[in-house]
């Protein structure tokens, strides 16, 4: 069971432009050769921040319009927010706030041995990293730069660095990078 941050970003490290647009990403359609379906089949629980959730509501679900679509995932999905957010019909959504470690344990219990997908954004993924709960990053780096926007992972992770476990070109636009998050050195216990 792994906790994985799976996301796409620009070459300069942003997951959304300043106005929360993903047009730069959606222009490519579905990336060639991505392992997304296999990845998702191994996921037992999903977590996201409220901005990512709101983006899905506005751009995918479109509730109350003639284009309304059902929720995207079968897996239980935790949404972090300090606010009351609209829900989606027939979706297993759990609205939470506060410490990610408490919620992570609930997700582990619900995932029944499968992986946990931290869908974003970067600050939320950073909170899982801070709590020592992030195992892997799977990042599709697109061949665009945005200059500014929502950062991929606003943390300093340098000593020890992440460990690159695979790098694969996906068509002409993407490089998919897998990184293992090193275990934090444990404080030695008193003799
Ligand atoms: N490129 C990609 O593959 C990809 C992937 C994911 C997301 N995105 C996009 O990236 C952008 C994400 O933006 P983001 O990183 O700024 O936001 P985000 O993580 O999606 O949402 C941030 C919000 O989550 C809530 N939150 C986070 N931690 C919390 C905690 N511990 N307790 C309570 N609430 C907490 C807060 O919401 P409240 O203000 O409601 O309290 C906070 O303002 C969106 O536009 C999204 O569509 C892109």
pLDDT of residue 191: 46
Contact 21, 53 (CB under 8 A): no
**Residue 190: pLDDT above 70?**
no
Mutate to test the pocket of ligand 1, among 34, 124, 144 (most ligand atoms within 8 A of CB): 124
Q: How far is the CA of 7 from the centre of ligand 1 (A)?
A: 13
Q: Specify the number of domains making up the chain.
A: 1
pLDDT in tens, 110-145: 999 999 999 999 999 999 999 999 999 999 999 999
Can you give the pTM of this predicted structure? 0.95
Assigned domain for 189 exists: no
Assigned domain for 63 exists: yes
pLDDT of residue 185: 59
Assigned domain for 191 exists: no
pLDDT of residue 35: 87
Assigned domain for 49 exists: yes
Query: Rounded mean pLDDT of 165-173?
Result: 96
For the record, the structure tokens of 136 come out as: 């892997």
pLDDT of residue 34: 79
pLDDT of residue 19: 94
* Maximum pairwise Cα distance, the chain: 67
Query: Rounded mean pLDDT of 80-98?
Result: 97
Assigned domain for 190 exists: no
Structural domain boundaries, residue 139: 3-180
Assigned domain for 44 exists: yes
Between 148 and 186, the higher pLDDT residue: 148
Assigned domain for 187 exists: no
Assigned domain for 66 exists: yes
Query: Torsion-angle region of residue 28: left (phi > 0), alpha (psi -120 to 50) or beta?
Result: alpha
pLDDT of residue 63: 85
- The finding on whether 149 has its CB within 6 A of some atom of ligand 1 is no
Q: What is the CATH number of the domain that holds 77?
A: 3.40.430.10
Collapse the DSSP code of 170 into the 3-class scheme (helix H, G, I; strand E, B; otherwise coil) and give the result.
Answer: strand
Q: How far is the CA of 28 from the centre of ligand 1 (A)?
A: 23
pLDDT in tens, 1-60: 999 999 999 999 999 999 999 999 999 997 777 789 999 999 999 999 999 999 999 999
Question: In which residue are the tokens 């219990």 written?
Answer: 109
Mutate to test the pocket of ligand 1, among 5, 6, 7, 15 (most ligand atoms within 8 A of CB): 15
């Amino acid at each position: 069971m792994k906790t994985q941050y799976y996301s796409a970003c620009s070459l300069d490290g942003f997951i959304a432009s300043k106005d929360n647009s993903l047009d730069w990403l959606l222009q490519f359609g579905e990336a060639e050769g991505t392992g997304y379906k296999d990845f998702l089949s191994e996921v037992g629980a999903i977590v996201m921040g409220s901005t990512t959730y709101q983006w899905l509501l506005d751009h995918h679900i479109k509730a109350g319009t003639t284009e309304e679509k059902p929720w995207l995932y079968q897996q239980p999905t935790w949404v972090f927010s300090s606010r009351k957010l609209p829900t989606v019909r027939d979706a297993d959504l759990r609205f939470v706030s506060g410490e990610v470690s408490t919620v992570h344990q609930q997700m582990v219990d619900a995932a029944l041995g499968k992986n946990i997908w931290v869908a974003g954004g970067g600050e939320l993924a950073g909170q899982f990293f801070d709590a020592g709960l992030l195992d892997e990053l799977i990042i599709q780096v697109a061949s665009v730069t945005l200059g500014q926007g929502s950062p991929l992972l606003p943390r300093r992770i340098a000593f020890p660095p992440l460990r690159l476990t695979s790098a694969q070109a996906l068509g002409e636009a993407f490089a998919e990078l897998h990184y293992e998050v090193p275990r934090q050195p444990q404080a030695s216990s008193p003799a």
